[in-house]
Amino acid sequence: MEIGIVGAGVAGIGTAYELRDADTEVTLLEKSRGVGGRAATRRRNGCVYDHGANYVTPDPELEEFMRGQGDTGPVEIEGPVWTFDSSGTIEPGEERERPALTYEDGITRFAKGVFSQTDATLETETRVESIGHEGDRWRVNADEREYAFDALVMTPPAPQTAALLVDADWSDSLRGELTAAIEAVPYRTILTAVLHYPFEIDRPYYALVNTDKDHEIGWLSREECKPGHVPDDESVLIVQMAPDWSLERYGEPEEAIADASAGLAASLLDDPRLETPDWTDCTRWRHALPDEGIDDGVLTRVEDRSLHFAGDWVVGEGRVAAAFENGREVGRRLRG
């Protein structure tokens, strides 16, 4: 059986993992240069920083799985997450019920480690342009190449998945209902600014999260709280901007986004030094996080057509662990 997986984020990797050693040929088609999706890491000037998802909060079973992944195991982030409101008032947050885990070489290590345990084929820098169904096979057109699969798993964010379904060469009574359900999943757009400073920022917390959803900043964290990420006596702030602010500024140059983010971070932390980082980075996440999930009834019905869906938008929880476990569930059903 030949199975195609569109997207090599953690959901797609989870599906491929469950199909390892099965009587299948699995191919992942990924538009970027690597695996992991928003579980993404960059490196610069001796610093390692996670600029999408910040960590994994696993349940005990997933934590055991992560700690059993070879020699490069996860590390726990030092420090709690505190809160702030629209006025910038910072207060201690609740104690975490689960550990916050990443890796010394970045959160992308999670997806790389899982993928290394599969026997799947990975086609990177391969942008899927259209899908179709003919006979008993699914066709996928990507970069002037056509693939054919017995079953297809779609893992891109809901808006991108819906767009492929709208244009699909597929006549089916469920197609309209399916497309409408996926199009209805709301998504947040988030701009992430990475701000580096040649001095230590001493605070009693790892991160701050805005609880009333009425501040220009949605999340601010200190990457130096992650073992192995930032050299001593330096700091890297990860500043994820609120969705409305991000939409308004989305098309601006990266320098302008970083400058504005640094000014807001300096105000929130009451530290004028933070207005002038010595280097910056910026990531645009058009489809960052789902605000709701989808009624999976229609998704279950189309599985009879050998069409499957996986991702955080399926479960309505924008977390690495949720996306990965959902991908694994799809893989188990395919294997079974």
Nearest to 325 by CA among 13, 24, 52, 51: 13
Q: Which fold has domain 2-39+111-184+294-335?
A: FAD/NAD(P)-binding domain (3.50.50)
Nearest to 264 by CA among 204, 210, 211, 198: 210
C-alpha to C-alpha distances, 1 to 118, 122, 309, nearest whole angstrom: 16, 17, 18
Nearest to 34 by CA among 7, 58, 14: 7
pTM: 0.94
- pLDDT score, position 70: 64
- pLDDT score, position 71: 67
Question: Mean pLDDT in each 10-residue stretch from start to end of the chain (336 residues)?
Answer: 97 97 94 95 97 94 85 88 97 89 95 94 97 95 95 97 96 94 96 98 97 97 97 98 97 98 98 98 96 89 95 94 96 93
- Distant-in-sequence, close-in-space partners of 260: CB < 8 Å, separation ≥ 6: 249
DSSP string for residues in 122-138: EE-S--EEEEEEETTEE
Task: Please name the CATH architecture into which domain 43-107+187-290 falls.
Answer: Alpha-Beta Complex (3.90)
For the chain, the structural domain boundaries read 2-39+111-184+294-335, 43-107+187-290
